[in-house]
Structure 1
Amino acid sequence: MSKNLPEPTNSEEVDLGQLFKLIGNAFERFFRFIANIFIGIYNVILILLIHFYKRKVWYATAIIIGGAFGFIIDKKSDKLYGANMFIETNFNSARQVYENINQFHQLANKDADSLELSRRLGVTVGEAAKLKGFYIEPDIDDNVIAEMYSAFYSMLDSVSRVEMTFDRYKKSLTNYNFNIHRIGVASTDKTVYKKIEKAFVDEISANAYLKSWLKLIC
C-alpha cells in the first residue's frame, strides 16, 4: 500500500522564508557593527598620525629639550653612597640602639639638622649636610634562630612545648631579639664615613640602660 506524504503548505514556506530573512538581517547587522568598530579604530589612528605629522617638529623639539634637561639634572644631582657596619648588642641594649639610629635618621633625613649632626659626629657642618640617612636591621640567620629556639624550648614546660612550635616562635621574634645588626649610612660624600666612624659608634653606644646596669654591678 503506498503512502502519500503531505505537501508543504504555502504558510510553512512563508514562515521559513521569513526566518531565514531574519537570520540574514541579524548577521548583516552584526558584521556591520564589527566593521564600524574597525573603521572607528582606523579613523582614530589616522587622526593621531595626522596630528603627530603636522606637529612633528614641535614634538621632536620637546623630546630633545626634555632629554637635555634630564641629562643636566642627572649630572648636577649628587650621587648617593652607602656604607655598612655590623654591631653586636649585649645586655638587652638593641632597643636603645635602634632608638639612637632613628634619632640620627630623623636629624639627617627629615630635619636636615646639619648643625646637630656636626656637633654629635665631630665633623664640619658642610660634611654633616651630606649625610642623608641612617638605617638599621637585624642580621637574620636561620641557624641562629634555630639555636635561640632550642634554648627557649628547653626552658618550657611540657604543655608550653606542645603549643610553641618553631614557626610560631619565629613569628614572635622582633628586631630586638637578635644580637647582630647591620647599620647603614647614606651620604653624598663617600669620604665622610671614616670621619664619623668613631664618634658615631660612641653615640650609638650611649645606652642609658647599659650604663645603669653597669652601675648596679660595680
Structure 2
Amino acid sequence: MSENLPNDHSKQDKNSTEELDLVVFFSLIGNVFSKIYKFFASIIKGIFSVFVFALKAIIDNFKIICIVLLSSFIIGFSIDKTKEPIYFSKMLVKPYFESKYQLVNNIDYYNALISIDNYDELSNIFQIPKEDTKELVSFQIEVGPETENDLIRQYDEYVQSIDSIRAQDISFEDFVDNRDLFSSDLFTIEVKSYKRDIFKSLTKGFESTFSNEYSKKLMKRRDSTIVIKKLAYRKDLQKIDSLQKVYLRILQEESKKGSVSIGLEGLIPLTQDRTITREFEMFQNELRIRDSIRVLDQQIIEQNVYYDVLSTFSDVGLKSDDILKKFALLLPALAFIILCLTFLGIKTIRFVSKYEA
C-alpha cells in the first residue's frame, strides 16, 4: 500500500499539469479571438463615428448647405440654358492598307488645330468655309462595333500568326483584354460641332485622312503581286490548253483507227490499247487556276480604295446631352465638395489651436 502512494501522487501531479496546460491554451485562444473581435469592432465603431460626425455636421449646417446647393443649381441651370448647344454625328469606316494609323494620327492633328484656332488649315483640309470650321468642337475616334464572332475570328488569325508554343499561353480573354485601338478593323469617327448641318460636308475631307505614302506603297505592292500571279496562272492555262489539244488529237486519231482483233474465232483476241490521257485532271486544274484568278480580280475590286464608309455622317446632327458636362449638376457637386473641405479645414484649425502637447 505504501509503495503505491508515491505513484498515485505523481499521476495526480501529471494530470494537474495537463489540465493547467489546457486552461492556458484555451485562455490564449480566447485572448486572440477577443483581440480580433475588438479590432473589427473598433473599425466598425470608427466608420460609424465618421458617418455620425458627417451627418451631424450636415444637420447642424443644413440651412447653409441647402442655400449653397440651390444657388449653385440655379446658376448651373441658367448656364445650361444660355450656352450654345453642341451637336454630334458619327461615321463608321473600314480602313485598308494599314491606313488606320494615319487616320488616328490625323484625328489628333485636327483636334490640335481646333485648340490653337488654326481654322485656315481646317478649311483647306475639309474644303469648307472658314466660318464653318469655327463651329467645330472636337474629333474623336474609337473602336467600331464588334461582335463576339468578330473577336473570335481575330483571335484565331492572331494565334495562327504566332508560334504554336506561345499560342498555348494566350487565352481568348487575354487577347481581348490586351487589345488596343489599332487592333480593330472598324472605327467610329465622332465629330462635335455647334452647327447642326455641317457633318455631311466633312465626309469628302476625310479622303485625305486615309491616304499616305505607306498606304500607297502597300496598294502598289499588292497590285504588282497580283499582276505577277495572274501572268503565272495564264501561262499555266496556256500549257493546259496545249496539252488538251494534244490529247484531243490523239483521241481523234485512235477513233479513226478503231480496234484490231486477230485469233481463232475470236478465242484469242488481240486488241490495240488506247493511249491513257488525263483530260479530267487537267480540267480540274484549269478550274482551280481560273478560280484563283477570279479571287485575285475580286480582291482588286473589293479593295481598290484606302477605306470604305459603312455608315456616313447624318445630314443633321443629334444634340449632345452629356450628363457629365451639365453645369446644373457640376456646380452643386463642386459647391458641396468645397463646403466639406471648408468644414474640415475649420475643424482642423480649431483642433490645432486648442492642442497642447
Does TM, normalized by the shorter one, top 0.5? yes
Give the Cα separation in 2 of the matches to 1:70 and 1:163: 53
Query: Which AA in structure 1 matches 2:140?
Result: Y
* Aligned residue among 135, 138, 146 for 1:133: 138
Q: Does 1:91 align with 2:115?
A: no
**For the aligned residues, what is the CA RMSD?**
3.0
Give the Cα separation in 1 of the matches to 2:129 and 2:157: 47
C-alpha spacing 1:172/1:198, structure 2 compared with 1 (3 Å):
same
SS class of match (2:91):
strand
Q: By how many angstroms is 1:91 displaced? A: 1.8
Task: Give 2:9's aligned residue.
Answer: none
Q: Does 1:184 align with 2:190?
A: yes
SS class of match (1:82):
strand
> What are the residue-to-residue correspondences of 1:93-108 with 2, within 5 Å?
93-108=99-114
Given that 1:97 and 1:207 are in contact with CA atoms closer than 8 Å, whether structure 2 keeps it comes out as: no
> What are the residue-to-residue correspondences of 1:32-71 with 2, within 5 Å?
45=60, 63=71, 67=74
SS class of match (1:151):
helix
* Aligned residue among 160, 171, 174 for 1:168: 174
Give the Cα separation in 2 of the matches to 1:158 and 1:214: 30
Q: Which runs of 5+ in 2 are unaligned?
A: 1-55, 225-357
% identical aligned pairs: 21
Task: Give 2:165's aligned residue.
Answer: 159
Give the Cα separation in 1 of the matches to 2:109 and 2:95: 18
Task: Give 1:196's aligned residue.
Answer: 202
Query: Which AA in structure 2 matches 1:146?
Result: I
Task: Give 2:151's aligned residue.
Answer: 145
Task: Give 2:255's aligned residue.
Answer: none
Q: Which runs of 5+ in 1 are unaligned?
A: 1-40, 53-58
Instruction: Report how many aligned residue pairs link the two structures.
Output: 162
Which 4+ runs in 1 deviate beyond 6 A?
none
Cα shift readout 1:157-215 (whole Å, capped 9, x = no counterpart)? 4422321211222233221121100000000001111222212x213122232122234
C-alpha spacing 1:174/1:74, structure 2 compared with 1 (3 Å):
closer
Q: By how many angstroms is 1:148 displaced? A: 0.9
The structure with the larger Rg is 2
Greater shift after overlay, 76-85 or 140-149?
A: 140-149
Task: Give 1:210's aligned residue.
Answer: 215
SS class of match (2:125):
helix
Query: Which AA in structure 2 matches 1:80?
Result: I
